[in-house]
Amino acid sequence: MIKGFAGFIRLASRPLLIGLLLCSIVHAAHKPAASISAAALVQPAALVAQLRDKSATAPVLLQVGSRALYDQGHIPGSRYAGPAGEPKGLESLHAAVASLAKDTPILIYCGCCPWNRCPNIAAAYDELKARGFGAVKVLYIAQDFGADWIDKGYPTESS
Amino acid sequence: MKAPAHFAFAPCALLAAALLALAAGASAGAASEPPAAPDFTRADLAGTPIKLTEFRGKVVLLNFWATWCAPCLIEMPRFSQWQRAYGTRGLQVLGVSMDDAREPVLRLARQHPPAYPLIMGDAALAKLYGGVYGLPTSFLIDTQGRIVARYRGEADLKGLEAKILSLLPGADR
């Protein structure tokens, strides 16, 4: 009976263990979004207000998630800068900011996954800071771009 | 030329509205008919064409995922387990990668082969399904080809499995 139960536990938990292993590999390679200081965060509602205020200077908006997500819908005026959690994405980010002055206000966002699981946002933030950009802000997307932006009816455009 | 979202998404508005009515993990209410799952044909990683309607008569779990999505990787081994356990009873899992490139998908599939086919997705395919703006996102399609549930974010796997079992041919409802 004990052997049977142990076998059952092994069988039942194997997919979970494999999943956790895969997940840990991904996580190990990515710095969590929680590492970004609260002072750098912008709430979606605040960004919407800023975008609607014609007298305010809009930051350079960069989406640092996947192309498929960007093409479906993104914040008006934002540019696709590539998934910063991957080497090719970082190259794309470098290209996107190559011509910008270091004091340019930049706001990055992703929204591919829940905030604590996002592989891109902290990587992009750290990279921009490391390259000397001093006015980088990050859009705080708690759940994902769908729940925290699209569903709220905030302005969106598609490619 | 970029189109405002409300115009660009208009063709999918009805489907999106119907999907909004499907709370995560909840089946469609008796009062509203579940929307038909839009058909598509895409090649799997081996190049074999996969047409969704060819799975008619089966329960299809359509899972949008990506290699960089940690919650997705939690789900996938369980989906493989279900495919092996329930495939002969009429379950078909289909994975749609939202990665920008095929290479990481091929690499993961080589290292941890799923028990179900994988295809590459894009914005067009996602828009067919009312938009997939976060991962993972899964759609549960019944044997009549209707979307009976949408799961946004990491699914409650226990609840999802129970829902699948209730939909399989021959299940008591």
Q: pLDDT for A6-31, tens place per residue?
A: 554 454 456 655 655 555 555 556 78
Q: What's residue A153's pLDDT?
A: 97
ipTM of predicted assembly, 2 dp: 0.79
CATH superfamily ID and name for B38-167: Glutaredoxin (3.40.30.10)
Residues of B in contact with A113 (CB under 8 A): 69-71, 134-135
Smallest CA–CA separation between B173 and chain A, in Å?
26
Asked if pLDDT for residue B10 goes beyond 50, the answer is: no
Residues of B in contact with A158 (CB under 8 A): 2-3, 5, 8-9, 123, 127
Q: What would the mean pLDDT of B55-72 be, rounded to a whole number?
A: 95
Q: Give the one of B75, B104, B108 whose C-beta lies nearest to A19's C-beta.
A: B75
Q: What would the mean pLDDT of A112-125 be, rounded to a whole number?
A: 94
Asked whether the beta carbons of B12 and A72 are under 8 A apart, the reply is no
Dihedral of alpha carbons A41, A45, A51, A55, sign = negative
Mean pLDDT of chain B: 87
Q: What's residue A8's pLDDT?
A: 46
Question: What is the third-level CATH fold of A31-150?
Answer: Oxidized Rhodanese; domain 1 (3.40.250)
A150 touches chain B (CB under 8 A): yes
User: A86 vs B68: CB contact, 8 Å cut-off?
Assistant: yes
Q: What's residue A57's pLDDT?
A: 87
Smallest CA–CA separation between A76 and chain B, in Å?
8
Smallest CA–CA separation between A131 and chain B, in Å?
24
B86 contacts: CB under 8 Å, gap ≥ 6: B164, B165, B168
CA distance B116 to A32: 30
Q: What's residue A22's pLDDT?
A: 59
Q: pLDDT for B65-117, tens place per residue?
A: 999 898 999 999 999 999 999 999 999 999 999 998 999 999 999 999 999 99
Q: Tokens representing B39?
A: 């058909």
Q: What's residue B173's pLDDT?
A: 61
**Residue spans per domain, chain B:** 38-167
User: B73 vs A112: CB contact, 8 Å cut-off?
Assistant: no
Q: Which of A11, A22, A121 should be substituted to probe chain B, the one whose Cβ sees the most B Cβ atoms within 10 Å?
A: A22
